[in-house]
């Protein structure tokens, strides 16, 4: 995570077992995790070049992956994580990385999805929970939830409406994926039962 930790709070409120909370920068989400007594790991982007063009993506990815493997993490739920990871991460966790995105993918990929949706004049947007791959905002869709776009919406108001829905949908999907894994199924096997949920 890289943000305020509201999705983490929603997951904890839903009773999900969270083994570790990781981040690429100091953020409120880490404080939420520590207050809940959770193990945390900070692999700070600043150590690897920050946000400059010289950012050492491979080194950052290797450090984060090693921290997760060392703690025997088997399912990763990204939320607001602002760093694109290189192939090594997805090779270590193939099909075991979930992500939530504030648009109805495949529309409006990337960090500015809400602004792009407004700029396109769409009448509805929403959120998508999907299995993350090396390709940005790609991978099998597990669930989507739609929200209306109002004529007086700005980026903040629409994003807040999406986040309200996201905080309900994402924990529910993560819980169902965890249950499927407990039964010996891979995360992707739940895609057919959740898509359009």
Q: Which residues are part of the catalytic machinery? A: 101
Run of H or E residues at 35: helix 28-35
Residues 39 and 18 in one domain: yes
* CB proximity list for 23: less than 8 A, separation 6 or greater: 1, 2, 29, 30, 40, 41, 42, 43, 81
Q: Per the domain annotation, does 131 fall within a domain?
A: yes
Residues 102 and 84 in one domain: no
CA–CA dist 178, 17 (Å, integer): 9
Residue that terminates a domain, selected from 94, 119, 147: 94
Residues 89 and 169 in one domain: no
Q: Per the domain annotation, does 197 fall within a domain?
A: no
86-96 tens-digit pLDDT: 999 999 999 99
Residues 119 and 90 in one domain: no
- Residue-number span of the structural domain to which 7 is assigned: 1-94
Residue that terminates a domain, selected from 76, 94, 112: 94
Work out how many domains the chain is built from and give that number.
2
Task: Give the residue, 85 or 193, on which the prediction is more confident.
Answer: 85
17-54 tens-digit pLDDT: 999 999 999 989 999 999 999 999 999 999 999 888 89
CATH code of the domain containing 14: 3.40.50.170
- Quote the distance between the C-alpha of residue 148 and its chain's center: 22
pTM, entire model: 0.90
Residues 116 and 147 in one domain: yes
Residue that terminates a domain, selected from 53, 70, 94: 94
């Amino acid at each position: 995570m890289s943000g305020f930790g509201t999705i983490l709070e929603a997951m904890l409120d839903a009773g999900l077992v969270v083994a570790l909370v990781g981040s690429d920068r100091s953020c409120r989400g880490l404080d939420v995790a520590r207050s809940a007594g959770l193990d945390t790991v900070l692999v700070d982007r600043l150590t690897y070049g920050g946000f400059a063009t010289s950012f050492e993506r491979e080194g950052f990815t290797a450090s984060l992956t090693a921290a997760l493997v060392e703690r025997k993490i088997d399912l990763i739920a990204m939320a607001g994580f602002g760093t694109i990871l290189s192939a090594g991460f997805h090779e270590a966790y193939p099909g075991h990385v979930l992500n939530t995105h504030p648009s109805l993918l495949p529309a409006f990929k990337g960090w500015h999805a809400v602004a792009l949706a407004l700029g396109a004049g769409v009448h509805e947007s929403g959120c998508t929970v999907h299995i993350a791959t090396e390709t940005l905002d790609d991978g099998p869709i597990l669930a989507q939830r739609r929200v209306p776009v109002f004529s007086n919406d700005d980026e903040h108001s629409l994003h807040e409406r999406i986040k309200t829905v996201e905080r309900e949908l994402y924990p529910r999907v993560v819980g169902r994926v965890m249950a499927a894994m407990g039964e010996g199924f891979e995360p992707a096997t739940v895609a057919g039962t959740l898509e359009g949920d």
